[in-house]
Amino acid sequence: MAEAAQSRVQNAIKDFINTIDRSKLRGYERSMHLCAAECCEDSTATVEDVHRCVEKCQVPTQRAQQYVQSELERFQEALSRCVLSCQDDVKDKVGPNTSEQEIRKYRGEFENCAIACCDKNIGKLPVLMDKMKDAFKAGAL
């Protein structure tokens, strides 16, 4: 069951990344490459001028990618904190004299808690998507 929840999280993140890439990041990348190509059209420019121009073209794309990356890292951290909290709750119940039957029970409790964390965080992805789209739309990047 835990593997299925982990797989759901991975698939949800993969779909999320593909959606944000198609809807926002590719436009940035296209603009970056067109801008860089224009930098190369000036036959009178020095090598340094062309490199500086190309680097300037890359800034919006890099900023957008860093924003997406930082939001995904925050998502992963929240999921990890939730699972760690589940782990702490179970560890508090286990002592040196805990029977194998109780350990199995607690392992099940942990797994159910971790699955709930996965489902809860997957449920937050649409809100995160809206937040990111609003940030892109507002030109905050």
pLDDT above 70 for 140 = no
Q: What is the DSSP letter of 42?
A: -
Region 2-18: mean pLDDT is 92
Question: In which residue are the tokens 């296209």 written?
Answer: 30
The CA dihedral of 8, 85, 68, 52, to the nearest 10 degrees, is -130
Interval 43-78: pLDDT, tens: 999 999 999 999 999 999 999 999 999 999 999 999
Query: Tell me, what's the pLDDT at 25?
Result: 94
Specify the 3-state DSSP secondary structure of 8: helix
Of all residues in the chain, the percent with pLDDT exceeding 90 is 83
Q: Per-residue pLDDT averaged across 14-22, rounded? A: 96
Contacts of 125 (CB under 8 A, 6+ apart): 12, 13, 16, 75
First to last CA, the chain: 39
User: How much of the chain, in percent, has pLDDT values that exceed 70?
Assistant: 98
Q: What is the CA radius of gyration of the chain?
A: 23
